[in-house]
Amino acid sequence: MDLIPKPDQVVAAAGNVAHKLAYGGLADLRKMPRTLIAEGNLSALYHYRPAGRVKDEGDPVLLVTPLAAPSSCFDLRRGCSLVEHLVTEGRPTYLVEYGEVSFKDRNLGMEHWIDEVVPDAVRRTSAHAGGRPVHVVGWSLGGIFAVLAAADQADLPIASLTVVGSPFDVSKVPMIAPLRPLLAITDRPVRGLKKGHGPITRLYQAVGGAPKPMVRWAFQLSSAQKLVTKPLVKLQNLDDADFLAQLEAVDAFTGDMIAYPGRTFGQLYHRFVKGNELREGWFELDGRRIELSAIEVPVLVFGGLTDGIAPIPCVRAGVPLLSGSREVRFEEVPGGHLGMLTGRRARGTTWRILDEWVDRWASDAGVPPSRTGGRASTGAKRPPHAASRDAIGANPTRRYGSGGSRSLAP
């Protein structure tokens, strides 16, 4: 709204306030219809139903959620839902989520998701889609799980990997980097305890992990400045129904955060935050070494221009580690950690790039993959929906500016 609101802005603001009072909000938070096709221990695989008369065909897309986040990260609200976009585009769309974590799950480690949950979801998705290879899309820690699973199990039916805001080098996270030396000091063992069993370790072991309030607080802390200015920004945008609806949807997402299991949280704390082990391109799990260079499928990596949780340098650090991939592409897009995935500007940036990437590496695109990078030139006809060389996402040097974005989504 202008400093001195125009009559139409006043009318729009009044309408938004009235709608919120009458209906409780402006955001359409209805979830896309889906069907459960497989279920296991802290694992549920869903297939989203085709939209209307749109035919559900082609390679399936599997969305991999991170731990502690609800699956609404991919289905935030109508109009800003990656799931809705994929389904209306006619893509067979699947999602794996983990459900509520309780104290009884405290002994589950990362291997549960890397060895079992993600690989099983990939195989079941492929089988459900008629044996077609799967385009795997992981957000945040979900991207790390997907990458490690693909590196460890080369026989997985994966057509391509997409990682969105996944941290590969936490020393490049401004919010964490200054704390890492302090963590080494504060977590020194107390006399009589094993090495590494300092106060922080004892705390998460006592409560069985990282409880919901702690996870919610950590996510909000990454956008503390936006949180402080939020009331003023709401007032300034009282006439913008779409903006207010996005804020409501992000609030609902944050309110549904899930706890971390104790052992998994311990691995993330000691090996990712303190040890920063993944930056060297390998990760030891259950006595074996998983090398990221073992991944041969093409990989698309997204970094958010205003991401405070996994800033661009932290995410881009993973690109040279994927040296065995047929093609690795890095794209900078507008938005924070959640906004780059499902913010209002993601509709014209992240989603379009993802569409063209999936089309490029579709199993029926008509051009076989080349181990030397990109696709071999065979003269075969490409499908009409495939991306051209000049399309968004086809240029690895393209960058998107963040000017003009009004979204507060983190």
Query: What CATH number matches the domain at 7-360, 1.20.1440.230, 3.65.10.10, 3.40.50.1820, 3.90.320.10?
Result: 3.40.50.1820
Reply yes or no on whether the pLDDT at 35 is more than 80: yes
According to DSSP H, which parts of 129-257 are helical? 141-152, 180-186, 199-207, 212-221, 224-236, 241-255
Q: What is the pLDDT of residues 366-393, one digit of tens each?
A: 544 433 333 333 233 333 344 343 444 4
pLDDT at 37: 96
Residue 138 pairs in a beta bridge with 64, 163
Reported as a pLDDT band with limits 50, 70 and 90, residue 176 is low
Task: Tell me: pLDDT of 202 over 60.
Answer: no
Mean of pLDDT values over 59-70: 93
Mean pLDDT confidence for 174-199: 48
Domains of the chain, residue spans: 7-360
- Judge whether 128 and 120 are in contact, CB under 8 Å: no
Three-class secondary structure of residue 331 per DSSP: strand
Pick the residue with more confidence: 102 or 186?
Answer: 102
Prediction pTM value: 0.77
DSSP states of 272-320: IIIS-GGGGTEEEETTEEEEGGG--S-EEEEEETT-SSS-HHHHHTTTT
Residue 96 phi, psi (nearest 5): -115, 130
Cα-only R_g, the chain: 22
Distances (CA, A) of 369 to 12, 57, 92, 159, 325: 52, 21, 22, 10, 11
The one-letter amino acid code at 204 reads: Y
Give 33-36 contacts, CB < 8 A, sequence gap 24+. 34/95
Q: What is the pLDDT of residue 2?
A: 59
Mean pLDDT rounded to a whole number for the chain: 78
CA distance 293 to 405: 36
196-205, 257-266, 346-355: the lowest-pLDDT one: 196-205
Residue with tokens 């809705």: 84
Residue 316 has pLDDT above 80, yes or no: yes
Per-residue pLDDT tens over the stretch 238-296: 767 778 888 889 888 888 877 777 778 888 878 888 888 999 999 998 889 999 999 99
Say which amino acid occupies 189.
P
pLDDT of residue 308: 86
